[in-house]
Amino acid sequence: METSRSIEQGLKEKSFAKGVEREQVSGLSKPNSRVEADVCAADGSNRQSSVMNPFVDWGFKYLFGTERNKRNLVGFLNLVLELECPIVDVEYLNNENIPHEAGGRECVFDVLCIDKSGTRFLIEVQNAPISYIRNRILYYTCRLIEQMGQPGEKWNYNIDKVYSICLMNFMYEQDPVLKREFMLQESYTGTLFTDRIHIVMLQLPCLEAKSMSECNMLYEKLLYLLLQMKKGMSTIEELKRQVYEHGLNEEIRETFLNVLDEANLASLSKSDKALYEARLKSYRDNRACLDYAIETGIRQGIELGEEKGLMKGREEGRAEGVAQGKQEIARSMKNKGLDIGLIAECTGLSEFEIEKL
């Protein structure tokens, strides 16, 4: 279900003062001093970047998942969801979902919050391709709904609405579009079955704008800004200049500028800077290992497929080659020390199959 409502007048929050003391939330410490940033650009070049990569897990949670930066989260939700009644305030919830039974799967959400009406908002960031990404976000959504169940006979299944937003640094479909929205509805007439589940999938590589002026929707402008921060090729001042020159209304402009102020690595405390750089190193290492594993697996899979194709026919051989390729990818990722769960999500193999490799 595609939406086109503009919320140019929708953001009601006033800007935080820049000198507000940093809250200690989700393991983020209060600053003791200001330090200069010295982090390489996200593309691996030698150029130094002073801008935080918002798609490093620590970075995203810092920019949108802390009390200090709650205003950023409210602005993000209002822009992406394009609600008729804008969100004014939210409360952060525990982002860990512990299973009731021993051996059950634990869910750790990137950002989880609730507004005054009881509506819950889940935001997930995915950097690596996952075979069952839609199933994953549906499963996480259902886990939130399951939490609302209450014991006793008095509970009448009155559940609150859940918005699930997934930002993907990859494309999961053959004909991708930047934004897709899903709700439960009757297949023939389109009659809405329930509005309790609303899923938004954002395939970020689909945003090919070269400047903010090429973005049509307000949420596209925000995503463009985040992607420019990820590239690390522009300074805070250069990105701010784009925001000022674009002619956004005051409230939205202040939201964009606040995100950039908080993403300035030079403003981080020593402890926060160390945490970010550790997660950035892990992000780059995982990306490099994944790229190498995929490249190796594809090459070996094609070779195996063509060899099998000579004996069993090209189609059957290629199918078997793909299966072999997945195993090679998994084996390479395992040898690089990547998490078994991540390998399973990326290859579609079971954790049992991976353990045997």
The DSSP string of 206-270 is G---SSGGG--SHHHHHHHHHHHHHHT-S-HHHHHHHHHHTT--HHHHHHHHHHHHHTBGGGS-H
**In the chain, what is the greatest distance between 2 CA atoms, to the nearest angstrom?**
71
- Tell me the angle at which helices 250-262 and 57-64 cross, rounded to the nearest 10 degrees: 140
* Per-residue pLDDT at 36: 32
* Per-residue pLDDT at 105: 55
Q: Quick one: residue 53, left, alpha or beta (phi over 0 = left, psi -120 to 50 = alpha)?
A: beta
* Per-residue pLDDT at 161: 96
CA–CA separation, 154 vs 167, rounded Å?
A: 38
User: Where does residue 76 rank: exposed (0-12), middle (13-18), buried (19+ CB within 10 A)?
Assistant: buried
Buried b (16+ CB within 10 A) or exposed e, 122-148: bbbbbbbbbeebeebbeebbebbeeee
CA–CA separation, 271 vs 62, rounded Å?
A: 13
> Residues 311, 316, 321, 324: is their CA dihedral positive or negative?
negative
User: Where does residue 291 rank: exposed (0-12), middle (13-18), buried (19+ CB within 10 A)?
Assistant: exposed
* Per-residue pLDDT at 326: 81
**The residue to which tokens 């069993």 are assigned:** 312
* Per-residue pLDDT at 9: 35
Cα angle 182, 184, 187 (rounded to 5 degrees) comes to: 105
* Per-residue pLDDT at 302: 73
Residue pair 222/54 in contact by the 8 Å Cβ criterion: no
pLDDT tens series, the chain, 357 aa:
444 333 333 333 333 333 333 333 334 443 333 233 333 333 444 344 689 999 999 999 999 999 999 999 999 999 999 998 999 999 999 877 655 555 555 567 899 999 999 999 999 999 988 888 999 999 999 999 998 988 888 889 999 999 999 999 999 998 999 999 999 999 999 999 999 999 999 999 999 999 999 999 999 999 999 999 999 999 999 999 999 998 899 999 999 999 999 999 998 999 999 999 988 887 787 777 767 666 777 777 777 766 665 555 556 666 677 777 888 888 888 887 777 877 887 888 888 888 888
**Single-letter residue type at 183:** M
80 is written with which tokens?
């992406």
How many helices (H) and strands (E) would you count in the chain?
10, 10
* Per-residue pLDDT at 44: 41
- Our measurement of the distance from residue 133's CA atom to the centroid of its chain's CA atoms, rounded to an integer in Å, reads 12
Q: List the beta strands (DSSP E) in the chain.
A: 39-40, 48-49, 90-92, 96-97, 107-108, 111-115, 120-126, 162-168, 179-185, 192-203
Cα angle 280, 282, 288 (rounded to 5 degrees) comes to: 105
* Per-residue pLDDT at 103: 52
CA–CA separation, 14 vs 260, rounded Å?
A: 16
